[in-house]
Amino acid sequence: MPGDLEELEKAQNEREMFKILLEISKLLNTGLDAVSLTYCIRLCENGVNPEGIAKMIIDTRNAVKAYKKQESKGATAKES
């Protein structure tokens, strides 16, 4: 029974910590949803460099933005 109580407390602490991290993420306007933040946390827990994760997210967002911009230019050219 003591092990079960410890596991329950650990799970509650992890949920509370995640809520705090999600709130910080929102305050900083990271644009990460709960699922994305969970992946980032797990990557960090497994030794991935947090700055590398941030760079990857920024680079991916920039690539998507550039792709959408290029795609919209193509759609506009086809309409003309």
For the chain, the domains span 1-48, 50-80
Q: For residue 80, what pLDDT band results from cuts at 50, 70 and 90? A: low
Q: Answer yes or no: is pLDDT of 14 > 70.
A: yes
Q: Which stretch of 15-24, 27-36, 64-73 has the lowest confidence by average pLDDT?
A: 64-73
Q: Answer yes or no: is pLDDT of 10 > 60.
A: yes
What is the model's pLDDT at position 41? 97
Are the beta carbons of 36 and 44 closer than 8 angstroms? Answer: no
Q: Answer yes or no: is pLDDT of 63 > 60.
A: yes
**For the whole model, what pTM was predicted?**
0.77
The C-alpha atoms of residue 18 and residue 15 are separated, in whole angstroms, by: 5
Are the beta carbons of 28 and 22 closer than 8 angstroms? Answer: no
